[in-house]
Amino acid sequence: MTKTKVFQTLAHIALVLWAGATWAVGYLVAPLLFTRFSSERAGETMAVLLNGVFLLGLGCAMLVLLDMRVRLARQLHQHRELWLVLSLVLLMIAQYSGVLPAIDQLKTLQQSGVDVPSDFGRLHGVSQVLYLLQSVLLLVLVYRRLPKSLES
């Protein structure tokens, strides 16, 4: 097996790991936490888990992008997967550097006794939509990378 093939295989594994972690945390762990624990405790736990998924996602995205750069070289900018991965990274950055810190700030204000406007629910909804978009893009990427023998 060539080095390029090994690197491609590692990128496939990274993509599946990224997608699996995103789906498991967002659609399995989150509902279970919020039905089992108080909203405050579940929210704190989810924040830690989501930060882990974010870091994992960034690392996996780098590996996938490097693999694409090695395999596609000059045609990289014309490849749809590049734009899917870059869109995912932008969505993650928007969520984790914009929306989630704003939610945390509102939670801190609420805990200190300040009356928080309905922005908390709106921001939480925006965060959920961004997470759903990431989940769908990951599904598309995983499907596109399925071996042709599995598609038929």
- In this predicted model, what pLDDT tens digit does every residue of 130-147 receive, in sequence order? 999 999 999 999 998 877
- Per-residue pLDDT averaged across 27-55, rounded? 94
Q: What is the pLDDT of residue 108?
A: 81
Within 10 angstroms of residue 106's Cβ, the number of other Cβ atoms is 18
Those residues whose C-beta lies under 8 Å from the C-beta of residue 54, and which sit 6 or more positions away, are: 92, 95, 96
- Per-residue pLDDT averaged across 73-85, rounded? 79
Q: Which of 124, 35, 143 lies closest to 80 in space, CA to CA?
A: 143
Q: What is the pLDDT of residue 105?
A: 85
Residue 37 lies in a domain: yes
Distances (CA, A) of 149 to 1, 93, 124, 145, 146: 19, 35, 41, 11, 8
pTM, two decimals, is 0.88
Residue 151 lies in a domain: no
Q: Which of 70, 68, 81, 75 lies closest to 3 in space, CA to CA?
A: 70
Residue 7 lies in a domain: yes
**Mean pLDDT computed over every residue of the chain:** 88
| pLDDT beyond 80 at 150 | no
* Residue 18 structural domain: 3-72+82-145
Residue 149 — pLDDT band, cuts 50, 70, 90?
very low
Residue 94 lies in a domain: yes
Say if residues 92 and 57 touch (Cβ distance below 8 Å). yes
Residue 140 lies in a domain: yes
| pLDDT beyond 70 at 151 | no
Residue 77 lies in a domain: no
Residue 134 lies in a domain: yes
How many domains, in total, are found in the chain?
Answer: 1
Residues 121-133, buried b or exposed e (16+ Cβ, 10 A)?
eebeebbeebbee
- In this predicted model, what pLDDT tens digit does every residue of 2-21 receive, in sequence order? 878 888 889 999 999 999 99
The token pair at 60 is 């996996």
Q: Return the percentage of the chain with pLDDT > 90, whole number.
A: 54
Residue 107 lies in a domain: yes
- Per-residue pLDDT averaged across 61-70, rounded? 89
